[in-house]
Structure 1
């Protein structure tokens, strides 16, 4: 599936996102917010090389809360391995939760897998009922920046 693919629904999701979506869909609205909070708490800390140099990270202005990200690529082309790093304040649990979902689903995957992730993946997580469309747009903004950085860094 290409990055421009328009297929939607659970079957269009990469396996890593499908599992996360199933977890969210298995819960009621209140528990979905709790799971999102758990993803926010599980967001890995920035490595020292970025924590000491926040200017290297790209801001995501679509998010209501300040969040910054950077990718690294091991190898070249679509088979290269993608690594994702995020910085978001603890007082922004929704934003951190979205970053945590993206980190869990995409970090360590091939660049091709990340690039093939449908842009609509955020709508498939079952969060539209519990967070605002504006907040979901922020997660889409993160995914868009991740894909752009990976294309640039991998040559894919």
Structure 2
């Protein structure tokens, strides 16, 4: 049985796959421009966020939860403007995953960068950082649920 996926994320993946490979990086950069700034309570307080150390860019993550048994997850990601591909991937994850149930996010395949068709556009190091960000999100959720 294939892994379930989240409809919004599936639509984003389809948007990337519908483009010629040469245009996918440009779409990723559009997500970079649209990455929301962290809420005021995190501004200048990256120490209260989890650093994604596998990423070569200073990337910080906070995951917030609703009070339900299967909580709705809110993702907050801080990435510097000089790291547009990292910001772009963070933007894809926020748009595709934030506001979804924890149980749904845990079913998301780990190879999202590959599914976006970015393997030829980005270095292996960047792809590893992107996969690490998704891994951190899932690990945070698993820890929260246990």
TM-score of the aligned structures, taking structure 2 as reference length: 0.92
Partner deviation per Cα, 1:38-70 (whole Å, 9 max, x = no partner): 000111110011114221111112212111111
Structure 2 unaligned blocks of 5 or more: none
Alignment of 1:16-95 (within 5 A): 16-77=8-69, 79-95=70-86
Partner deviation per Cα, 1:63-121 (whole Å, 9 max, x = no partner): 121111110000243x2100000111101000001100100000000011111111122
Q: What residue is the counterpart of 1:149 in the other structure?
A: 140
Structure 1 residue 133: deviation in Å? 2.0
Structure 1 runs of 4+ off > 4 angstroms? none
Cα distance in structure 1, aligned partners of 2:66 and 2:87: 25
Correspondence 1:139 to 2:130: yes
Cα distance in structure 2, aligned partners of 1:33 and 1:148: 27
Structure 1 unaligned blocks of 5 or more: 2-6
Q: Please tell me whether the aligned partners of residues 13 and 121 of structure 1 are also in contact (alpha carbons under 8 angstroms).
A: no
Q: Please tell me whether the aligned partners of residues 5 and 104 of structure 2 are also in contact (alpha carbons under 8 angstroms).
A: no
TM-score of the aligned structures, taking structure 1 as reference length: 0.86
Q: What residue is the counterpart of 2:93 in the other structure?
A: 102
Partner deviation per Cα, 1:112-136 (whole Å, 9 max, x = no partner): 1111111122221111121122211
Aligned CA-pair RMSD: 1.7
- Figure out how many residues of one structure are paired with residues of the other and give that number: 146
